[in-house]
Amino acid sequence: MSRHLQYPHTPVACVVVPSRLHFTDIPIAFIHKEINDWQKVETGGALVGYIEGDRIVITHASGPGPRGIRRPYSVRIDGAFTTEFAFRLQSASNGQLYYVGDWHVHLNGDLSLSGDDHNAVQRLLRVRACLVPYLVSVIFSRDMDTANAYRYDQFGKPSRMLVQFGGTPSWTEAVQFHP
């Protein structure tokens, strides 16, 4: 598998700046299990979904990958793994779903972006990892009661987003939604 990002072309017109981040049930169930399986360390991964109007819908989440490193105060996400994860979903959905950012957990209850978190997003923006003009970084609490979501614009400036959970669409419905 090539390490270059050979994404199919997905034109995404962002007429409205998305202000809401909507997690559907499938990625939330995955993240819940991942956090429960790794209680003493930080974990995280990639987020895949689509933009519709003023919201970014998350349809899939991954873990940090086999070469990812979970530590008590940080997690290193395996970029080759998450690129492959996003590429597979993007191909399977004929370009309707795509990489939109990353998630991780903070164990201490402070859900603000750390300096390292901020720098990680700047690195992703520099390599243009994301197809859309936004890249999100979501921080969950350990009990998953709350999450902070930040939308970075192409200039690397973060803004808080409203986070919503639950319901459809599932990813197949998400594909049908954008035929």
List interacting residues with Zn ion (CB under 5 A).
114, 117
Cα angle at 99 between 70 and 62, to 5 degrees? 35
Question: Please, what is the minimum distance in Å from the beta carbon of residue 113 to Zn ion?
Answer: 7
Instruction: Choose between 118 and 178: whose C-beta lies nearer to Zn ion.
Output: 118
Instruction: Choose between 10 and 114: whose C-beta lies nearer to Zn ion.
Output: 114
- In sequence order, the 6+-apart residues with CB closer than 8 A to the CB of 166 are 23, 24, 25, 28
Question: Please, what is the minimum distance in Å from the beta carbon of residue 74 to Zn ion?
Answer: 7
Residue nearest to Zn ion (CB): 117
Instruction: Choose between 55 and 106: whose C-beta lies nearer to Zn ion.
Output: 106
Q: Are 146 and 160 in contact (CB under 8 A)?
A: no
What percent helix, strand, coil does the chain show, rounded to 5? 25, 30, 45
Question: Please, what is the minimum distance in Å from the beta carbon of residue 25 to Zn ion?
Answer: 25
Instruction: Choose between 87 and 103: whose C-beta lies nearer to Zn ion.
Output: 103
Question: Please, what is the minimum distance in Å from the beta carbon of residue 156 to Zn ion?
Answer: 17
Question: Prior bond to 169 cis, omega within 30?
Answer: yes
